[in-house]
Amino acid sequence: MKIMKELKKVIFLTLILLSCATLKAQIVYSVDADWKADVKVYSVDADWKADLLVFSVDADWKADENDGRWFFTDADWKAKKKVYFVDADWKADLKIYFVDADWKAKWTNDSKMSLMD
């Protein structure tokens, strides 16, 4: 009986730790309406126009903390942030530029970092 209680504690703590690790990753989901989004983003055509340089990774475990490496998930409940891509820069909370290498991902406007926390 005591072993079962200890096993339940270990499983519970493991689940908590795993969920905390997941919450820190930049896992995003692209929604189909602006009212469903946590953040409205606009994809600019040059890196110097962006608040954030984004690299899209191919696995959720490759997405780091709030540093510009994003993993686009296929389900909204898996995402830390839901984003909506707007059609004009003045409608956006955050302007992003997609880069071609993970080492290029970074914030260029630190005042907007809280949008993705």
At 44-87, the pLDDT tens digits run 999 999 999 999 999 999 887 899 999 999 999 999 999 999 99
Could you identify the residue written with the tokens 């990774």?
Answer: 57
pLDDT score of 6: 59
What whole-number distance in Å separates Cα of residue 56 and Cα of residue 85?
15
- Residues 6+ away with beta carbon under 8 Å from 45: 97
Element (H, E) at 69: strand 69-72
111: tokens are 């005042």
Provide the 10 A C-beta neighbour count for residue 58: 8
Stated pTM of the model:
0.77
**Percent of the chain residues past pLDDT 90, beyond the cut:** 73
Q: How far apart are CA 96 and CA 107, in angstroms?
A: 9
What's the rounded mean pLDDT across residues 3-14?
A: 54
Residue 39 has pLDDT above 80, yes or no: yes
